[in-house]
Amino acid sequence: MPGLDTLGWPVEGATAAVTRAVLDGDPVTLAADAVWPLPPLPANVARRTRRR
């Protein structure tokens, strides 16, 4: 899995820490302002779309 900062999409926050948490299997919530086509995510990553 590539680092989140290498995907070419805007990110903000603790990108390195979140990437490490994903790789370690810790629970992570992906919150997005827009729907992006993503590859299958590990079971420890939950998706949540923000409403404006």
Cβ-contact 12, 28 below 8 angstroms? no
Which residues, 6+ apart, have CB-to-CB distance to 3 below 8 Å? 15, 16, 19
CA distance 20 to 23: 5
Percent of the chain with pLDDT over 90: 23
Q: Indicate the average pLDDT of the chain.
A: 80
Domain boundaries, the chain: 4-49
The 10s digit of each residue's pLDDT in 33-49 is: 777 777 788 999 998 86
